[in-house]
Chain A
């Protein structure tokens, strides 16, 4: 899979793949009509797609360092865009995002703005320059730009903390979906998810991950968009929901006013299963203060530009020019899903709330709702719950509870779509979580194998030995992540947001100033990375243990404090110590122009 011939044939290869996948969906739809059970369809979808990814992973096996670490630097812009989009859109984006919007409305949508706006920073501040650098990993850039093992090692520490926080959430998500689709206990499903993830990345490294991520993007985008369009058409909301749901959004506002947000007593809420929530916030009204919204968006944007698994995708493009364009394509492919999430939340909410729709449950009798098939299924799965708090026999808005995941996973069923769509959604969620987990595990394993083992411990190691170390680390880190995921400490979304805050606390300014401020030196960078990470972590622990916080910075935005400390520490320490030598300054000059050899290629 390394000839240029393969690269030229990519559109054809993935065209056939997409056609084959659509064919599979149709086949399953026919099988459903012929009496195939829902469970069998779910298993078929997950097993079939995972098998394809594993096959791609096997075909991409390699023994070359360049292919293993940066996919041979020949991934075309558009395909790298798709791979990045899959890398980026995690189980949280796919499974939990629409749910978050459903429950929290406007305040939550700061994440949509944050997780897209960050790409402007990636494109303009970092990606093209790091590509010119020619590094294999993000700590590789830090280690070469600032010099010294301590700087390199500090970057590995920040990377590992941020990515590991993130990856447990992803393995958790693969486990959740595998356990629902395959109908096995979560503790085992987690490891099935992990093995699927490792099949994609172990043999081919970055090359394997790249080509599976493209395949996973195709599955996840079809799985996300098809139900949105289908439901919208089915309830007569409009054939192109993105442009046509204004009336539905307004209608939800009306219904909210009509039902009112009744606050439940603590005693009542204690009877609701853990992790489920009711609708307590307005759907489209501005329900958060400007600072609450902006600080969350800002933290996510700066975190985006600091997360190594995203940045390293731009190391795989053939040129600096291609790296820039590729960021644009990445965001375009992300946009397709993110702009659909609020539409799905709107459709889902309207389906459940509106008494004029046959699917609406608010105002119906409790006994009637409890007899509905889908309610029973999702209630058994611990994702839905009804309790007649006021004892009047009918379901009120404040008496219906749902898990965040259920909005995506259950809406097709609620809206009365055939089960084949639910199977497709499960496969899409699996693809989203797997692709992100792959990128993250690879980012950590590569940083440790390349930066710690090869650059610090044993610089004379042969390629074969380096790649063995890289693969062993991949498995070890994967299992560590799965073990922690199996303990179910933090919800999917919480840990994802923390990962962004950790990354921005330690890496944002050391990366950006490395390119944009020649005076930044080693001592400053180390102070920035370690100081930022320590300050951010301290703030998180402080707020979690009852601290009041300040300036409205919460446990979801602690990166704002961490990165501020990082910036100050880096500037002050840099100015107090000697300026970087001539060779380093010249290196920065060269990074700033696209032409010529990469920095590391020259050494």
Chain B
């Protein structure tokens, strides 16, 4: 397998993990919205309500930065990161 194929395979792996986490926060928890809302969550808000107000939104912010850092590491590992002067 060429260097580039390995790089792409790893990038695809990262994409799958990213999309899996995305799925949990955007879709997964709302499948059980009614049940989870019975429970008191962070700062005293009902759980599902809190996720729609803040939780999921914040999770997406963190997820994107995490993804960007991981992808940068992968690019560096295979020598595909951009030179600073470009």
Contacts and interface: CB of A to CB of B under 8 A. Distances in A.
Q: Do A and B come from one complex?
A: yes
Interface of A: 106, 109-110, 112-114, 116-117, 119-121, 123-125, 128, 242-247, 249-250, 284-286, 288, 290, 293-294, 297-298, 301, 319-321, 324-325, 327-328, 331-332, 335, 338-339, 342-343, 589, 592-595, 597
Contact of B48 (A286, A325, A338, A339): A286
Given A117-B26, A120-B64, A595-B86, 6 more contacts: A112-B53, A117-B56, A120-B26, A121-B22, A124-B67, A290-B34
A543 B22 CA distance: 31
B30 A328 contact: no
A476 B37 CA distance: 50
A177 B8 CA distance: 49
A325 B68 CA distance: 6
A319 B86 contact: yes
Contact of B56 (A116, A242, A592): A116
Nearest to B75: A594
A324 B52 contact: no
Contacts of B75: 321, 593-595
A321 B11 CA distance: 14
A597 B79 CA distance: 15
Contact of A324 (B32, B46, B53, B68): B68
A358 B47 CA distance: 31
Contact of B52 (A113, A242, A244, A593): A113
B60 A117 contact: yes
Contacts of B60: 116-117, 119-120, 331, 335
B57 A284 contact: no
B76 to A, nearest CB: 10
22 contacts: A109-B53, A112-B53, A113-B51, A114-B26, A120-B22, A124-B19, A124-B64, A245-B45, A249-B49, A290-B31, A290-B32, A294-B27, A297-B30, A319-B82, A321-B68, A324-B64, A328-B61, A335-B61, A592-B7, A592-B8, A594-B82, A595-B79
Interface residues of B, number: 46
A249 B25 CA distance: 22
Contacts of B68: 123, 321, 324-325, 327-328
Nearest to B2: A589
B8, B25, B34, B83: residue with the most chain A Cβ atoms closer than 10 Å: B34
A123 B49 CA distance: 26
Contact of A293 (B4, B7, B30, B53): B30
Given A297-B27, A342-B53, A595-B75, A249 B19 contact: no
B27 to A, nearest CB: 5
A113 B30 CA distance: 10
A119, A120, A301, A325: residue with the most chain B Cβ atoms closer than 10 Å: A120
Contact of B43 (A116, A246, A284): A246
Interface of B: 4, 7-8, 11, 15, 18-19, 22, 25-27, 30-34, 37, 43-46, 48-49, 51-54, 56-58, 60-61, 63-65, 67-68, 71-72, 75, 79-83, 86
A128 B46 CA distance: 37
A324 B81 CA distance: 13
Contact of A119 (B27, B46, B64): B64
A124 B18 contact: yes
A110, A114, A117, A319: residue with the most chain B Cβ atoms closer than 10 Å: A117
Contact of A339 (B37, B46, B57): B57
A338 B55 CA distance: 12
B43 A244 contact: yes
Given A297-B27, A320-B82, A246 B44 contact: yes
A541 to B, nearest CB: 28
A247 B40 CA distance: 12
B48 A106 contact: yes
A324 B83 CA distance: 16
A338 B57 contact: yes
A99 to B, nearest CB: 16
A286 B52 CA distance: 11
Contact of B37 (A112, A245, A286): A286
B83 A595 contact: yes
A327 B64 contact: yes
B64 A113 contact: no
A233 to B, nearest CB: 17
A244, A298, A338, A594: residue with the most chain B Cβ atoms closer than 10 Å: A594
Given A243-B43, A589-B4, A335 B58 contact: yes
Contacts of B11: 592
Contacts of A589: 4
A321 B82 contact: yes
A123 B70 CA distance: 12
A286 to B, nearest CB: 4
A109 B45 CA distance: 15
Contacts of B32: 290
A284 B46 contact: yes
Contacts of B45: 245-246, 249, 284
A299 to B, nearest CB: 12
Nearest to B54: A339
B40 to A, nearest CB: 8
Contacts of B8: 592
Contacts of B37: 284-286
B34, B56, B68: residue with the most chain A Cβ atoms closer than 10 Å: B68
A308 B64 CA distance: 20
